[in-house]
Structure 1
Amino acid sequence: MNAMNRRLFLTGTLATVAAPAVLSACSSGGNGAATQQTVADTQLPAYVPYTGVKPDLPGNEQGLLNGFLSYPEPPVRAFDGPPGDGSPVSAFVLTSSPVPPAVDQNPYWQELNRRLNADLRLTIVPNSDMPTKFATLVAGDDLPDFIVPALYTPNGLPAGVANLPAWLAGKCQDLTPYLGGDAVKEYPFLANLPTAAWKDCRYNGGIYGLPVARGIAGSLMFRRDDLFGQLGANPNPANFAEFRAVCRQVTDERAGRWALAGGPLDFVSQMLGLPFRWREEGGKLKSKFEYEEFKQALADTAQLFADGVVHPDSTTNNAPVKKWFNAGSALLNTDRYTAWPQYYAENVAGPGFRISGMRPPLYHGGGFAGTWQAQATNNFTVLKKADEGRIRRLLKIADWLAAPFGTEEYLFRKYGVPGTHYTMEGGGPRQTQAGVSQTVLGIRYIVDAPDVLFVPGNAEATKACYDYQASVVPTSVPDPTLSLFSDTWSRKQGQLGTMINDAQNDILSGRKPVSSWDETLTQWRTTGGDKVRAEFEEALAAQ
């Protein structure tokens, strides 16, 4: 899971101290609070799905993604020529990987420039430096053409921006004349992006960004099926009691093996029917934190910690949970669905390695609980203001960057040059070391094709991923505030998040009783929670 996929803020999934707000999540906001009434009137881009490549495992309108058992051979050529005009194109992007070699030492970057017919000038910033670097960028007022992390926090303010709608209106391009309605058809691969993703780009009554779309399946409890089988453990517990029992069964401290890579507060919350953040009841919003069932979730998760079934180092910052999971030190790990191919790529267990998703059972049994839908965008990118000709040239480049799965352009963009950056094995590209180090330029966060389900070279794993999504998407539960904006939430999410996570950690570690949650809830409401609620309710009414 890359850094732009961290949607765990305020959920307590890993039961760790909250990161700074700018790094704690990635989903973008909706329209500005001062212009809530314009949401319904915003002219979203028309949706024209690409039909040039047929999936092996078709998705559907509910949100199930298309699946591909192998990369189409030969891939489809999407463009007859390069989209650029040879001029420089600047972008401010981030990376969760080691910063790649500079363009003069990076053959992939050089080939990308050639295929774009552009001098791509990237400022590639590591996650840890992003808040400072972005604040400096904004303060200097020398903006690049593409600005990726302008909306890097959930419904939140980027570093250095005091009022998001005003900053967008003053510094960034309203793309509605170029992309609203049928105008987007001039850029067919931007038109191929799902409507739900564009909803996160609405500000000030216009379209103020290019979305990086993701599936609604969101995060899940990954399970090491191979090890569950070896241990004779039940992979599908029917209720919380059975879940607790199987966690105790597979844990063996002497063998260096624990059931859980982190505290499963979200998973237990889903068992209890709690919402992701908010639930609408008769036009009013009620926070997850306000339900009595949330205290039950805290108590049960604290019991799992006391049982010793959670990895003992899980509460450390930047705990290597993926490595624990792949090494078999933890058999269950909450992660974004996009991590499915990454686990296989980093597999150290050999050909017997098998994973899938554990569905949350209803707390007392009798079926499965609804999982939480994720936001339809990973992030979105704004363009600085420019003349019409310049904006149209940049949108042509963005259209190229959004070429879909199955095309030559997508294959190069994701994996590089065959023979140099990857080889085809089992119907999928396997990157070389040069591919791993050179291709992580961050351009996939400028704009991207619609996501698909594909584990390179492993059709069985792709099918397992598809089957999991097919089982959870129909009953998944959306949060009513997704794609909406609250000014108070944008300013106070870091403060509120730290308050919540600190209190959760105190309870889960046994330092405080569950009864202490009542005091935390009162503080959360008076510090801003009630104001956030009121602003979201106003935004809901304006839709």
Structure 2
Amino acid sequence: MTGNTPRMDRRSFLRSAAFASVGAAGGGLLSACSSSSAGTADNAADNSAVELPAYQPYTAVRPDYPGNAQGLLNGFSGYPAHPARTIGAPPAHGGTISAFVETGSPIPPGLGSNPYWQELNKRVGAKLDLTIVPAADLTTKFATLIAGGDLPDFMVPPLPPLAGVRGLPQFLAAKCQDLTEFLSGDAVKEYPYLANITTDAWRSCVFDGGIYGLPVSRGVAGSLMFYRADLFDTLGADPNPSSYAEFFQLCKDVTDAKKGRWALVTAGSAVAFVAQMLGVPNGWSEKNGKLTSSYEDERYKQTLSQVRTMVQAGVIHPDSFDPAAPWKQWFNAGNGLMGEDRYTAWPQYYADNVAGSAFEVAGMRPPKFDGGGFAGTWQSPPVNNFTPLKKASASRIRELLSVANWLAAPFGTEEYLFRKFGLPGTDYSLRNGGPAPTQAGLAQTVLGIRYITDAPDTIFVPGDSEATKACYDYQRAIIPTSVKDPTVSLFSETYSRTGAVLAQHLSDAANDILTGRKSISSWDTAVGQWRSSGGDKMRAEFEKQLG
């Protein structure tokens, strides 16, 4: 790529295409954002017969903004001033507990120089031996882990899209613990905070007729087009375009290259937004048991054509071709006014704010392409990832599940506050009703334990109740009309083995079109190659389970 060519990298492409249940996660924010997986097609009947853990929601802390069964998360304007410690004794009984986890943050200080990690071990009741792997290295490291045979107690597979994990259901059956007897039905109530995880999230852990892991649940709101509301206001820009034409004009109006300001931080952001305007399927569309990929939909090709025009118009940051481009920093600095990102980034943008007290972000809803109301947004899966446990004795599994139960303590508890933010005065300070991390806290607390299991997600921007309400209102508006991928909770071995490679080929083909090196018609050839190289086989594997 040349220095002035905006590139759409594979993650942006996966995000924009919503291919095969890949959750939308902005620019590498959460590489573990994943498709849900539920065993092989041949075992679909066995999977559907599994009794999932009984759902028993935690109700001791009432939300300021209540969620609902559609997937709207509970919202909290502040953290309880005096949260209770709800688990009296450490859940483990000494010794060592090992875990293979990922992180999207810089690797934290080791145990010997990390007071948070040391305190975490005391509270858990065991030495946590954590192998913390950068997200970019997870696929390679996980393959090495499996090949070596010395498995940790907890392990986080690389997602999406289970890249490079060949024979995942077979690996789970051979090496990992079937948790059905410990968690199915009312058995989960022995671990009340695991029972607080929704039923939809548990479906991601079902393989070959058993429960083979713990879910890390997330909201279904997915990604959205963030915009700098403070700068829109300064520029007098309307954040509610009623059609694609108005959106494109808005992009041209707010772009001023001489001042180092562009409408969009990445081409991938534009592709995702325009595709939703046009009604492109969320990964796959289903009719009478037959699936059509979003890649094959003519509206996706139209999306590429429209975004190509936007690239030519210069409304996208000119350096966004670089997969490592610091587009979040551009957004925070005001060099790019709009960017697609996961809803979980809402509080992070405020934490990273460099613009002062006027800083404000908001979510822009996609209008229908030709006008006439809002388009449906793409739902994400109800999980971020799942975590298998290696086979062990029943007593050891119960101890590990007790630790997992502690790790899933919900919002409002003292355990949650410590797990997320560390120790008061050292790792965070309370400000405006919310924990504000210190530099020490930001460095020390990113141990990756949130990928072992986690409490149900909430809407909470620490120290900013107005931003919390804005995030809640956005989710409440879009979720009722959001579009689900019909392959969520299904597993394709072909997708697991080749999905990432094939997506890279299509990402390259899309970049060739966006940058003008190839014609729009070249997309048909690229999709044909995708089909013959594995796309049709993925489709067949998914369809067998739909039946």
- With normalisation by structure 2, the TM-score equals 0.94
d(CA) in 1 for partners of 2:12 and 2:123?
37
Q: 1:99 aligns with which of 107, 114, 137?
A: 107
Q: What displacement does 1:19 show?
A: 11
User: Unpaired runs of 5+ in structure 1?
Assistant: 1-5
1:190 alignment partner in structure 2: 194
Q: Normalising to structure 1: TM-score of the pair?
A: 0.95
2:79 is the alignment partner of 1:75: no
Distance 1:527 1:8, change over 3 A: same
Cα offsets for 1:107-154 (capped at 9, x unmatched) = 111111111111111111122332332222111100010112x25223
**2:240/2:365 contact within 8 Å kept:** yes
The one-letter code sitting in structure 1 at the alignment partner of 2:119 is E
CA–CA separation in structure 2 for the residues paired with 1:68 and 1:27? 28
User: Are 2:160 and 1:153 equivalent residues in the alignment?
Assistant: yes
C-alpha change, 1:39 and 1:7, in structure 2 (3 Å) is farther
Establish whether residue 300 from structure 1 lines up as the match of residue 306 from structure 2.
yes
Residue 530 (structure 1) shift: 1.3
Is contact 1:82-1:116 (8 Å) kept? yes
**Whole-Å separation in 2 of the counterparts to 1:445 and 1:231:** 41
Instruction: Name the residue aligned to 1:494.
Output: 500
| Alignment-derived partner of residue 345 in structure 1 | 351
Whether the aligned pair in 1 keeps the contact of 2:41 and 2:542 (CA below 8 Å) is no
TM superposition shift of 1:31: 1.4
Give the superposition deviation at 1:100. 1.1
How many residue pairs get aligned? The number is 528
Alignment root-mean-square deviation, CA:
1.8
Measure, in 2, the Cα distance between the counterparts of 1:266 and 1:428. Answer: 33
1:84 pairs with 76, 84, 92, which one?
A: 92
Secondary structure, aligned partner of 1:217: coil
2:137 equivalent to 1:129: yes
| Structure 2 counterparts to residues 99-248 of structure 1, below 5 A | 99-148=107-156, 150-154=157-161, 156-157=162-163, 159=164, 161-248=165-252
What code does the residue aligned with 2:215 have?
P
Tell me the residue number matched to 2:23. none
Q: Name the CA shift for 1:8/1:254 in 2 (closer, same or farther; >3 Å).
A: closer
1:104 and 1:232 map into 2 onto residues whose CA distance is 53
**514, 520, 528: which is aligned to 1:514?**
520
Between 189-198 and 285-294, the greater mean CA deviation after superposition:
285-294
Same amino acid, percent of matched pairs: 59
Q: What displacement does 1:220 show?
A: 0.4
Residue of structure 1 aligned with 2:34, choices 16, 26, 35? 26
- Within a 5 Å distance, the mapping from 1:55-74 to structure 2 comes to 55-74=63-82
Determine helix, strand or coil for the equivalent of 1:279.
strand
> Against the structure 1 CA distance between its residues 202 and 492, is the aligned structure 2 distance closer, same or farther, given a 3 Å change threshold?
same
Does the 8 A contact of 2:212 with 2:388 survive in 1? yes
Give the corresponding residue for 1:3: none
Deviation at 1:540, TM superposition (A): 0.9
Unaligned runs of 5+ in 2: 1-9, 19-25
CA contact 1:48–1:192 (8 Å) conserved in 2: yes
- Aligned to 2:169, what secondary structure does the other structure show? helix
SS at match of 2:455: coil
Q: Distance in 2 between matches of 1:25 and 1:46?
A: 25
Name the CA shift for 1:208/1:91 in 2 (closer, same or farther; >3 Å).
same
Residue 538 (str. 1) matches residue 544 (str. 2): yes
The aligned counterpart of 2:321 is: 315
Question: What residue is the counterpart of 2:261 in the other structure?
Answer: 257
Match for 1:50 among 51, 54, 58? 58
**Structure 1 moving runs of 4+ over 6 Å:** none
- Structure 1: how far apart are the matches of 2:501 and 2:444? 38
Partner Cα distance (2:112, 2:190) in 1:
34
- Say whether the 8 Å CA contact 1:8–1:25 is kept in structure 2: no
Paired with 1:42 and 1:9, the residues of 2 have a C-alpha distance of: 35
* TM-superposed deviation, 1:39: 2.2
